[in-house]
Structure 1
């Protein structure tokens, strides 16, 4: 089956990007909820990803989403205690989830460093959670929508360049020597990321421009991990002008 073409949508600024994606997210979830009983979304951290959640929280349309019918997961997590300010799940709670009526059972966060589990046990636990929520016969949830940020080195989730985790065929990896602090992390693998029906990458800043340009030009996934990301139905890069400077003009779909 031919994979859908990647789309690149450029925004005038980071703020415009955040507001546009927030509105698009609300509309997408409402549409999906009109067609199916539950919707699964995988969230990302980072300033842009968390900014999108804050913009959803500020939107007068936020409660057009039925928060009782959405399951929220995370693409990666820092191995820090629960409620730590660096934890992606805590940042998501502070930005949005604490202000909407989403049942606790619908929040599928990675185990925290003070959970009583070791890092490896936490990876196994999250893999089990993904498997138990998956369709029969699948090893992990095929998310309806998965968000990703992109690092200046092209990393996505906690999958960094030139590292063995990029080749992991499982579902969740434990990372002990991340090149970006903190050194211990948990991450979904590339196969799980690419099982998602829709992947939305939110990218802002000139420091991301080189990695983005290389990825869209067909760089190796081992050199630029984001180059390996491909959703089943759609893959959209939402970027600001600064991040788009090295993207070939012919790859840009337009401005939002």
Structure 2
């Protein structure tokens, strides 16, 4: 059964650290209960996941995960070199991936060395190879967990307001060139995000109060309000973002 934002669950936690810890618990559970050989996880970028990556890299947390059963993907990426400070992969690599026993062959950064269009097609091919099919099958999700953020303009991943990618119902990966943010982007499409067992929004900070309210109201005039999952959707926010801090 498809879950849209009207059916999403929500948890309000004390602060950003509590949000990160709860997300860590969800990832550990998803990996342990994954029905396939490997759990496919799509990481989000931005500032909110930093604390999560730091927590997962701690030895006492890292040992709770069988990293041989994990494949890492990304929900979006700025089309910049992997050495660039704005690279989502650079952040995840430095804070987490380089510190745990995760085989390099199971880490899949979005490519950024060709044109954005070519790189999007390459990443879709990588996803299809991991999934084992060029077609998404009902009842067999592409991702076990998709992590998403929420922008103050209502975007999520790199699904920005007014971008053509919002209406792309064919591809798994596409491109975005937001006028309100730097860099061209690669991003998962709604179609790819929907093929998931669990979608989790990580939302912290008082500047997110207006958009979080609209997200919880399932406002489909903002890109994040159109997210669906073939499994569940959970909104994790701190008290500040929920307007309770």
Same fold by TM-score greater than 0.5:
yes
CA distance in 1, matches of 2:2, 2:96: 36
1:2-41 maps to which residues of 2 (within 5 A)? Answer: 3=3, 5-32=7-34, 35-41=35-41
CA distance in 2, matches of 1:231, 1:196: 6
* Alignment partner of 1:240 out of 226, 238, 241: 238
Q: How far 1:175 sits from its partner (Å)? A: 2.2
Contact 1:172/1:189 (8 A) holds in 2: yes
Contact 1:48/1:149 (8 A) holds in 2: yes
CA distance in 1, matches of 2:107, 2:192: 18
Contact 1:44/1:50 (8 A) holds in 2: no
Q: How far 1:181 sits from its partner (Å)? A: 1.1
* Alignment partner of 1:226 out of 209, 213, 224: 224
Q: Tell me, what secondary structure is at the counterpart of 1:46?
A: coil
> Which residue number in structure 1 is paired with residue 122 of structure 2?
125
Contact 2:77/2:87 (8 A) holds in 1: yes
Contact 1:56/1:62 (8 A) holds in 2: yes
CA distance in 2, matches of 1:12, 1:194: 29
> Which residue number in structure 1 is paired with residue 105 of structure 2?
105
CA distance in 1, matches of 2:30, 2:2: 23
Q: Tell me, what secondary structure is at the counterpart of 1:197?
A: strand
CA distance in 2, matches of 1:193, 1:187: 10
> Which residue number in structure 2 is paired with residue 173 of structure 1?
174
Q: Which runs of 5+ in 1 are unaligned?
A: 247-256
Contact 1:23/1:56 (8 A) holds in 2: no
1:58-77 maps to which residues of 2 (within 5 A)? Answer: 58=58, 60-77=60-77
Contact 2:27/2:145 (8 A) holds in 1: no
> Which residue number in structure 2 is paired with residue 206 of structure 1?
206
CA distance in 1, matches of 2:97, 2:227: 27
Q: Tell me, what secondary structure is at the counterpart of 1:111?
A: coil
CA distance in 1, matches of 2:179, 2:187: 11
Q: How far 1:139 sits from its partner (Å)? A: 4.8
Q: How far 1:245 sits from its partner (Å)? A: 2.3
Deviates more, 1:160-169 or 1:39-48: 160-169
Q: How far 1:178 sits from its partner (Å)? A: 4.1
Given the two structures, how large is their TM-score scaled by the length of structure 1?
A: 0.86
Call closer, same or farther: CA 1:137–1:126 in 2, change over 3 Å.
Answer: closer
CA distance in 1, matches of 2:180, 2:59: 36
Q: Which runs of 5+ in 2 are unaligned?
A: none
CA distance in 2, matches of 1:136, 1:176: 29
Q: How far 1:156 sits from its partner (Å)? A: 0.5
Q: Tell me, what secondary structure is at the counterpart of 1:64?
A: coil
